[in-house]
């Protein structure tokens, strides 16, 4: 799937690039093509001025070039016709020598055309006819420079197009790998999660079905006599419910479709909220043989959703109690800075490596997969915590060192 996605990305990207390049280079080519044509016409007009100056050297007009000015580089010549309009009177030449026979042939061709200006492709000449002061003149200009420039323009345009397309293709391929790298990682994690979740769901379902089979085989027994099977069924069903609820919360967060009860914002006593959550986890800490220590400053108020903040705090406390190891310590601290409330949940025990810290808040990620499975984790808790913190315009980070243990710091803005 990822390969097809990369190919599709490159094709779409290159389609846009080629379309834009084609439009830009076409405009560039047409503009320069017309400029070369215009240059040839301007040279013909300059030749007209040059002819006048050479005939009337003592009557220069303001702005005209002097007689000793260099003639146009492009070969041009002007044929002046007799009054009858069919016979040649004179030939003015610049950078070219035209024989009488050639001139007559060219005049014949031009006179047989209805257009006053055009191109004689067989001779590579551009011409135009004009009547000036009662005289009929035909101006000719060699197209060699114009055609060479156009051919060079075509080659350069094609070369630029090929080089640009090649470079953009390589860039598109690179961007396809770079842009889809998070998708690839997410796809890998999701596949891993599906495999893990399938295993996790298969176990409770097997237990539930087995318990139901046992219950159905003892139809005459009382509920009290079969309580053990009912309790096991309830525990496994609750595990499945937890997984479904976590997935549903993340899905709703992504879609921005969180129920009103879980999205309404109010002014909260954050100190009291953290204290209540800590008290709820005293029994969990005692069961895990872990000391729970609190250092909570009073009177810290923030604006937020109580349900979500309790969920976030519960995730951090639950993780800390699970991974503090027997005889370890979990420390909950809440302090206030000038503009933020800072919640820290620290625990002793196995440290989180720097590489694992980079991925610890990613969905479906579990640093120690075997231990997480044993503890009943699905790799979604810390992702939920980060989602809640970000929705409250805060920040969450983890530090894991020999001196401080593993510390999760949550920073939320004060009201």
Q: Closest by alpha carbon to 386, among 378, 395, 377?
A: 395
Instruction: Please check the confidence at residue 56 and state whether its pLDDT lies above 80.
Output: no
3 or 384, which is more confident: 384
pLDDT (0 to 100) of residue 41: 77
DSSP per-residue codes, 376-412: T--S-HHHHHHHHHHHTT-EEEEEEETTTEEEEEEEE
Tokens standing for residue 253: 């967060």
Percent of the chain with pLDDT over 90: 35
Average pLDDT for 400-410: 93
Tokens standing for residue 144: 């060699």
Within 8 A by CB and 6+ apart from 141, the residues are 40, 41, 43, 44, 47, 74, 75, 76, 125, 126, 127
pLDDT (0 to 100) of residue 176: 84
**pLDDT band (50, 70, 90) for residue 380:** confident
3-class secondary structure, 20: helix
Query: d(Cα 367, Cα 350) in Å, to the nearest integer?
Result: 11
**Which contiguous run of DSSP H or E holds residue 81?**
strand 76-81
- Alpha-carbon distances of 162 from 30, 155, 167, 314, rounded to whole Å: 18, 11, 9, 59
Tens digits of residue pLDDT in 64-108:
444 444 444 678 888 888 777 777 888 888 888 888 889 889 988
**pLDDT band (50, 70, 90) for residue 196:** low
Query: d(Cα 408, Cα 276) in Å, to the nearest integer?
Result: 19
pLDDT (0 to 100) of residue 135: 78
Instruction: Please check the confidence at residue 317 and state whether its pLDDT lies above 90.
Output: yes
pLDDT (0 to 100) of residue 52: 58
pLDDT (0 to 100) of residue 224: 82
What is the value of pTM for the model shown?
Answer: 0.53
**pLDDT band (50, 70, 90) for residue 252:** confident
Instruction: Please check the confidence at residue 55 and state whether its pLDDT lies above 80.
Output: no
């Amino acid at each position: 799937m990822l390969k097809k996605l990369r190919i599709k990305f490159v094709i779409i990207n290159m389609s846009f690039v080629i379309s834009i390049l084609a439009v830009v280079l076409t405009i560039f080519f047409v503009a320069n093509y017309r400029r070369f044509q215009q240059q040839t016409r301007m040279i013909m007009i300059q030749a007209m001025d040059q002819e006048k100056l050479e005939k009337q050297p003592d009557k220069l007009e303001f702005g005209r070039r002097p007689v000793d000015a260099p003639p146009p580089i492009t070969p041009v010549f002007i044929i002046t016709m007799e009054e009858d309009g069919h016979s040649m009177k004179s030939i003015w030449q610049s950078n070219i020598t035209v024989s009488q026979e050639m001139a007559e042939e060219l005049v014949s061709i031009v006179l047989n055309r209805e257009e006053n200006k055009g191109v004689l492709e067989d001779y590579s000449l551009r011409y135009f006819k004009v009547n000036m002061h009662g005289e009929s003149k035909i101006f000719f200009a060699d197209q060699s420079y114009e055609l060479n420039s156009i051919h060079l323009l075509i080659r350069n345009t094609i070369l630029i197009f090929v080089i640009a397309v090649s470079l953009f293709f390589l860039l598109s391929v690179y961007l396809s790998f770079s842009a889809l790298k998070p998708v690839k990682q997410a796809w890998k994690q999701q596949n891993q999660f599906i495999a893990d979740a399938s295993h996790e769901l298969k176990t409770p379902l097997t237990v539930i079905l087995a318990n139901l089979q046992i219950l159905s085989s003892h139809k005459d027994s009382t509920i009290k006599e079969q309580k053990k099977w009912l309790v096991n069924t309830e525990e496994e069903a609750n595990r499945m419910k937890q997984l479904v609820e976590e997935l549903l919360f993340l899905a709703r967060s992504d879609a921005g479709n969180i129920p009103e009860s879980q999205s309404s914002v109010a002014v909260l006593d954050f100190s009291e909220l953290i204290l209540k959550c800590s008290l709820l986890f005293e029994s969990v800490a005692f069961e895990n043989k872990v000391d729970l220590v609190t250092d909570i400053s009073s009177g810290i108020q923030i604006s937020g959703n109580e349900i979500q903040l309790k969920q976030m705090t519960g995730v951090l406390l639950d993780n800390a109690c699970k991974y503090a190891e027997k005889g370890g310590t979990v420390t909950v601290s809440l302090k206030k800075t000038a503009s933020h409330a800072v919640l820290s949940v620290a625990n002793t025990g196995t440290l989180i490596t720097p590489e694992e810290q980079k991925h610890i808040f990613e969905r479906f990620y579990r640093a120690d997969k075997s231990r997480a499975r044993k503890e009943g984790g699905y790799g979604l808790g810390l992702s939920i915590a980060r989602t809640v913190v970000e929705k409250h315009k805060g920040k969450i980070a983890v530090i894991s060192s020999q001196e401080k243990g593993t510390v999760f710091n949550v920073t939320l803005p004060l009201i």
